[in-house]
A and B are shown apart, each in its own frame.
Chain A
Amino acid sequence: MDKTQELSGSHAGGPLDHSPIDASSVNDILMAGDKSKGGRPYFLESAETERIMNVAMAVATEVAVLRERLDTLERLLESKGLIDRAAIEAYEPDEASAQERQLWHARYAARILRIFQQELDAIARPENNTPMHRIADEINEM
């Protein structure tokens, strides 16, 4: 009754490996992202942009997952009398704490937007933008 039919697992050894597998060698991490049959359509004018959108949506999903986990944590702690969620909502940091948090936000924003900062730097200081193959030639003479 339980004969295996059309064993067509991909991937004990990666996405291009189509050898059959057994129950103990399921590569769940890579198999989860298996591509379905047929060419993938791209809807945006630029496939590069669509790739980035797909990465951004996956990251957005994980932000939502973190938010739900944090909410679980808060509710569990509150149910055990360890925290008061209303107090979290009403919390206003003192001057020093507020400054620390602003600093964190500033660093975070700068990390995320690094590439824009560096592109501006490139325009502002063209002398610092010699192509690396030329620098390699130059440095060979040094």
Chain B
Amino acid sequence: MSSYQLPPVWTKLRRHEVFPTFSHDERARYNFLSNLNRFVSTVMAPGNRIAFENRVRPSFQEKHGRDFQDRHELQDYMSKDPVYQAWGALRRSTMEMRQQNGRAAVLRQAAELAGKVCEQLSKGPQNLELKEGFTVPPYLRHVDNHLMPGSYHTEYFQGDVANAANYDSGLFVTSGGMLGSLTDGGGQAIAKWVKETYPDFHPKRILDIGCGLGHNALPIAQAFPAAQVTAIDAGAPMLRYGAARAKALGVHNVTFIQADAASMPEFEDAGFDWVQTTMFLHETGGKAIHRIMQEIRRVLTPGGITLHIEQPQYTPEMSLYEQFMRDWDAYYNAEPYWGHMHDLQPQDLMEEAGVPREEFMQIGVKAVNDLDPKKEDGKVAEDYGRSPIWNVFGGWKR
């Protein structure tokens, strides 16, 4: 056997009752794209550092008599290097192919998927609330996050779930399967950490903001079966598919509600013991994020906890090279708030959310991955912005 570390085959993904069906060749396409991603991230991406240290930085220093001032200046010079150019072109191309191939698979069965979801939703108690005339926040309408045409909110026809099904079946490819067989490694990790760190914490009401299709809300609901989880998002296709998926997976203590996190009049003051976001804040906007913090402060009960899984913040301790590499996704994987958001100080955000500085906490958490043959010790080359190792910040409200 080769010592090359293979990504898991796509069929390791657990397919539930509302999951799209994939043909032989559609599966093969995803297997190839996973491998292409792996090569680009483990073989080509490290080349950027070599090019940076060996020629880009020395030639800049020679010319200007100083080092780079910030990541933007570094970006200007790296973007002229052929190693960076080849990596960037291939990374972008791979992402676009992943979207096109995923869309091709789900759009050809869009009507059947909508039917399957509708049927699943009719079983058991209602776990979905969509709002007529709901206004999708402008920061979502302004960009197609992750180069996902139509983003989370676009419905191609009434009852459509195509974009959600694409997200559910394709994130495995983008993440190289490192989030596990249900792509829920983030939610599993935070649930495990909370349970182990605060064994006496028994939340009754949990709010998951920006839940998408509930990848990370479900493991929290499963870890705290006595709690009622409210999962909110702006995207109707995601909520509809997520509610059906939860039923298909037998998780019954989650309700999916369409809501705007910056204004949640549907929820009473101090109504939640735990407010969670997972890889959500960097997909909001520069003004909305502060309104969201105000709303978290209002709906979180004193003595409750709020936690936020994010990529690491850009701090003075983080090298400019790392900031520059992490910025790639902001500009070229269409997550434009990423860079600005990671310039904010999480302590400040949490203070706005009602967490005093002395209660602020920040930890590193790694995805719980049931597909990793070496379990959680598996070492994968750093793929800035895509690695399943996150920064979690938050704290207790007083």
Contact = CB atoms under 8 A, between A and B. Distances in A.
Size category of the binding interface on chain A: 35 or more
Interface string B141-171: 1111001111001111111101000000000
Given A31-B103, A34-B103, A61-B33, A43 B89 contact: yes
B334 A37 contact: yes
A28 B110 contact: yes
B50 interface: no
B144 A36 contact: yes
Interface in B92-120: 92-94, 96-97, 99-101, 103-104, 107-108, 110-111, 114, 118
Contacts of A5: 130, 132-134, 136, 153, 155, 236
B129 interface: yes
A35 B107 CA distance: 15
B21 interface: no
A6 B160 CA distance: 11
A55 B96 CA distance: 12
A31 B6 CA distance: 31
A22 B110 CA distance: 10
B111 A26 contact: yes
Contacts of A64: 28-29, 31-32
Nearest to A36: B144
Given A31-B107, A64-B28, A65-B29, A36 B130 contact: no
Interface residues of B, number: 63
A41 B90 CA distance: 12
Contact of A26 (B36, B134, B147, B156): B156
B130 A44 contact: no
Contacts, number: 151
A50 B90 CA distance: 9
A114 B85 CA distance: 28
Contacts of A22: 157-158
A79 interface: no
Contacts of A6: 136, 141, 153-155
A118 interface: no
A33 interface: yes
A134 to B, nearest CB: 39
B84 interface: yes
B377 interface: no
B320 interface: no
A23 B92 contact: no
Contacts of B157: 4, 7, 9, 20-23, 26
Tell me whether chain A's interface is mostly helix, strand or loop, or mixed. loop
Tell me whether chain B's interface is mostly helix, strand or loop, or mixed. helix
B307 to A, nearest CB: 30
Interface string A44-83: 1100001001100110110011001100100000000000
A107 B240 CA distance: 54
A36 B147 contact: yes
B334 A69 contact: no
A9 B85 contact: no
Contacts of A41: 88, 92, 331-332
A131 interface: no
Nearest to A2: B159
B246 to A, nearest CB: 16
B239 to A, nearest CB: 10
A74 B126 CA distance: 48
B5 interface: no
- The listed residue with most A CB atoms (<10 A of its CB), out of B25, B136, B332, is B25
Nearest to A28: B107
A133 interface: no
Contacts of B97: 57-58, 61
A40 B92 CA distance: 9
A125 B130 CA distance: 71
A126 interface: no
B28 A68 contact: yes
Given A4-B157, A4-B158, A61-B32, A34 B93 contact: no
B154 A32 contact: no
A52 to B, nearest CB: 11
Interface of B: 24-25, 28-29, 31-33, 36, 79, 84-90, 92-94, 96-97, 99-101, 103-104, 107-108, 110-111, 114, 118, 126, 128-130, 132-134, 136, 141-144, 147-150, 153-160, 162, 236, 240, 331-332, 334, 336
17 contacts: A2-B158, A5-B130, A21-B156, A23-B159, A32-B103, A33-B100, A34-B103, A34-B150, A36-B149, A37-B142, A38-B144, A43-B86, A44-B86, A45-B85, A57-B90, A58-B97, A69-B28
Nearest 9 pairs of A and B residues by beta carbon = A34-B149, A43-B88, A36-B144, A32-B104, A28-B107, A64-B32, A68-B28, A9-B156, A23-B111
